[in-house]
C-alpha cells in the first residue's frame, strides 16, 4: 500500500518533471534555427504577402546576411520568379525578399512600401541582416518602383538593379549622406529601350549624381536576357555598401577604401578654366577604385590604399591618372583625421603616385 505522503511526493515529482518538459520544449523552440528555403509571409495591413528565402548554403553563424529585395513587373507575381532567383541565392549566399504588389496592376499603386517594411522586419526577426547590404532590384514596373524607393525615400538601400524598366520621374535624392549606385539592363528590342526610357533614365540619373553601370544587349526584348544578367546584377548589389564600419559614407564624389577607414576625393581644372570634382566610377574593389572627370565611360584615375602595416608599419597610397589636366587628390584617414594630398600641375602628364609612407597610423 502506498501512503498518502508518498503519493504527495510522487505527485510533486511528476508535476516538476512536467514543468521541466514544458520549459525545455519552449527553450528548444526558441533556439530552433530559422526555416531555410521559401517561406510565405502574410501582410494583412496591405492585403498582400511576400516570400522570403534563406539559403541552405549559408553558415548563419558566420555573420549577418546580405539581402536583396526583388520586385516583379506589372501583371506578374512572385511565384514565377522563384525558379530563377533560388539558384542565385544559393550561389551568392544572399537572403531574398520577393513581395507581391498590393495592387493587381503594379508596384507603387497600393501601399507597397509597407509590404516591404513588413517583409524586411519579418526577415530580421529570424536571421541577422547586414544593414550595409540591403539592395533592391526589379523587372519592368518593379524596377521603376525600385529606383523610386531608393532615391525618394529614406530607404538605406545600398544599391539598385533594374531590368527593362520604364521611366518614372525622381526629383531629388532624399538621403543626404548616400546615393545608391545603380545597374540597369535593356535589350535593344525592348519597347522601353526603343521608346526612350533608357535615354531619359540616363539623363535623370546623371542629374541626380547616381553612379550607373549598364548592360545593353542587341536582339533581346523586354522579358529576356542572357543567363549571366541576373547574376551580374545581383553581384553588383552585393559589392555595394551603405556607409562603412570605418566611418566613410560612399558618395558620387567620394571613394571609400580600406573597409571605410579611408576616403579619397579629387578636384580637377582644365587649361580653359573649366573645373569640377571627380566622380566615382562603378568599378571598384575593397582597396581600389576609379574616378572619371568628363564622361562616365572615360575613366581618368585609379586610387589604391593598401594595408602594409604587417611589414612596413604604414598604409600605402598608390594613384595613376591618364590625364594632363591639373588635379588635387586628397586621401583622408578617418580614424586619425590625417590627410595626404597629391597634385598634378596643369599641362603635365600625370606621374604615378607610389607613396609607401603615406600613413604611419597602424593599426
Please determine, for residue 91, whether its predicted confidence score (pLDDT) is greater than 80.
Answer: yes
Domains and CATH numbers, the chain: 37-239 (3.40.50.1820), 255-359 (no CATH)
Q: 220 or 21: whose pLDDT is higher?
A: 220
Write down the pLDDT at residue 109: 83
Write down the pLDDT at residue 309: 95
Segment among 38-42, 177-181, 199-203, 263-267 with least mean pLDDT:
177-181
Write down the pLDDT at residue 1: 40
Write down the pLDDT at residue 242: 83
pLDDT above 90: percentage of residues in the chain: 70
Strand ordering across the sheet containing 298-308: 279-284, 288-295, 298-308, 314-321, 353-359
With cut-offs at 50, 70 and 90, classify the pLDDT of residue 282.
confident
pLDDT per position as a tens digit, 197-219: 999 999 999 999 999 999 999 99
Please determine, for residue 66, whether its predicted confidence score (pLDDT) is greater than 70.
Answer: yes
Please determine, for residue 8, whether its predicted confidence score (pLDDT) is greater than 90.
Answer: no
Write down the pLDDT at residue 32: 63
Segment among 124-128, 246-250, 276-280, 348-352 with least mean pLDDT:
246-250
Read off the pLDDT of each residue in 187-191 and give the average, rounded to a whole number: 98
pLDDT per position as a tens digit, 238-257: 988 887 667 787 777 889 89
Q: 243 or 334: whose pLDDT is higher?
A: 334
Write down the pLDDT at residue 77: 94
Average per-residue pLDDT for the chain? 88
Amino acid at each position: 500500500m502506498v501512503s498518502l505522503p508518498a503519493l504527495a511526493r510522487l505527485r510533486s515529482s511528476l508535476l516538476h518533471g512536467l514543468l521541466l518538459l514544458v520549459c525545455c520544449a519552449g527553450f528548444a523552440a526558441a533556439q530552433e534555427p530559422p526555416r531555410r528555403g521559401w517561406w510565405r509571409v502574410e501582410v494583412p495591413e496591405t492585403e498582400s504577402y511576400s516570400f522570403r528565402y534563406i539559403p541552405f548554403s549559408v553558415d548563419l553563424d558566420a555573420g549577418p546576411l546580405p539581402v536583396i529585395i526583388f520586385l516583379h513587373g506589372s501583371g506578374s507575381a512572385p511565384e514565377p520568379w522563384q525558379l530563377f532567383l533560388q539558384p542565385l541565392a544559393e550561389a551568392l549566399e544572399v537572403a531574398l525578399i520577393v513581395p507581391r504588389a498590393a495592387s493587381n496592376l503594379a508596384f507603387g499603386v497600393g501601399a507597397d512600401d509597407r509590404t516591404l517594411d513588413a517583409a524586411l522586419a519579418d526577415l530580421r526577426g529570424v536571421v541577422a541582416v547586414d544593414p550595409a547590404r540591403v539592395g533592391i532590384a526589379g523587372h519592368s514596373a518593379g524596377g521603376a518602383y525600385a529606383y523610386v524607393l531608393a532615391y525618394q525615400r529614406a530607404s538605406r538601400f545600398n544599391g539598385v538593379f533594374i531590368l527593362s524598366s520604364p521611366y518614372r520621374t525622381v526629383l531629388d535624392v532624399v538621403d543626404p549622406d548616400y546615393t545608391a549606385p545603380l545597374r540597369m539592363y535593356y535589350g535593344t528590342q525592348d519597347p522601353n529601350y526603343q521608346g526612350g526610357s533608357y535615354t531619359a533614365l540616363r539623363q535623370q540619373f546623371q542629374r541626380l549624381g547616381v553612379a550607373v553601370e549598364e548592360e545593353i544587349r542587341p536582339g533581346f526584348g523586354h522579358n529576356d536576357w542572357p543567363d549571366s544578367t541576373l547574376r551580374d546584377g545581383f553581384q553588383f548589389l552585393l559589392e555595394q555598401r551603405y556607409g562603412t564600419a570605418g566611418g566613410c559614407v560612399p558618395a558620387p564624389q567620394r571613394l571609400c577604401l580600406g573597409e571605410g577607414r579611408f576616403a579619397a576625393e579629387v578636384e580637377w581644372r582644365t587649361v580653359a578654366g573649366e573645373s569640377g570634382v571627380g566622380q566615382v566610377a562603378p568599378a571598384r574593389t575593397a582597396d581600389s577604385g576609379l574616378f572619371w572627370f568628363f564622361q562616365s565611360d572615360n575613366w581618368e584615375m585609379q586610387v589604391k590604399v593598401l594595408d602594409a602595416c604587417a611589414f612596413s608599419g604604414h598604409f600605402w597610397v598608390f594613384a595613376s591618372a591618364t590625364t594632363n589636366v591639373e588635379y588635387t587628390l586628397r586621401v583622408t584617414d578617418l580614424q586619425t583625421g590625417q590627410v595626404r594630398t597629391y597634385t598634378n600641375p596643369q599641362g603635365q602628364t600625370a606621374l604615378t603616385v607610389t607613396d609607401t609612407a603615406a600613413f604611419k597610423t597602424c593599426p
